[in-house]
Amino acid sequence: MTKQIHRKKISRRPTFFLGCFVVGVFIYLYTQSELRFIFYPEIDTIFAPGFSQQKFSQIEAGMTKQEILDILGEPLNIMGEHPALVCWQYSTDGKLWPYADFSYFLYQVCFQNNLVASTPVYEFSN
């Protein structure tokens, strides 16, 4: 008498659906620009060399451009069409490009008549 061994067929459906889910999440995250990465919100922010949030917090209204250079160093960009109102940007977007596009923070020091007028920080995200 021959004994038959019945093997249970292993379903590949969970693996297939998990793979589809992972691919779907990847495509969603990749195609959605400027999403906020909750574990490290500044993951896609490029900072000027020597920049830190601690140094940025030392900036006060009325400081001169030289005082800002002494604390933060050279900015990444200088924006302003009017000489009396100029903003120095100490951060920009694109640290993870071309692999991902998350939100980024823009740290600026804005001068009016060569003295600090404001230090706005913006988050650009969806």
Residue 25 lies in a domain: no
pLDDT in tens, 62-85: 999 999 999 999 999 999 878 789
Q: Does the residue 50 lie in any domain?
A: yes
Give how many domains the chain has, as a whole number.
Answer: 1
- Can you say how many angstroms the Cα of residue 66 is from the centroid of all Cα atoms in its chain? 28
Q: Could you tell me if residue 70 is inside a domain?
A: yes
| pLDDT (tens digit per residue) in 80-117 | 878 789 999 999 998 988 877 888 999 999 999 999 99
Q: Say which CATH number the domain at 83 has.
A: 3.30.1450.10
The confidence score (pLDDT) of residue 25 equals 74
Q: Where does residue 25 rank: exposed (0-12), middle (13-18), buried (19+ CB within 10 A)?
A: exposed
What is the pLDDT, as a whole number, of residue 55?
97
pTM of this prediction?
Answer: 0.72
Does some domain include residue 45? yes
- Establish if 10 belongs to a structural domain: no
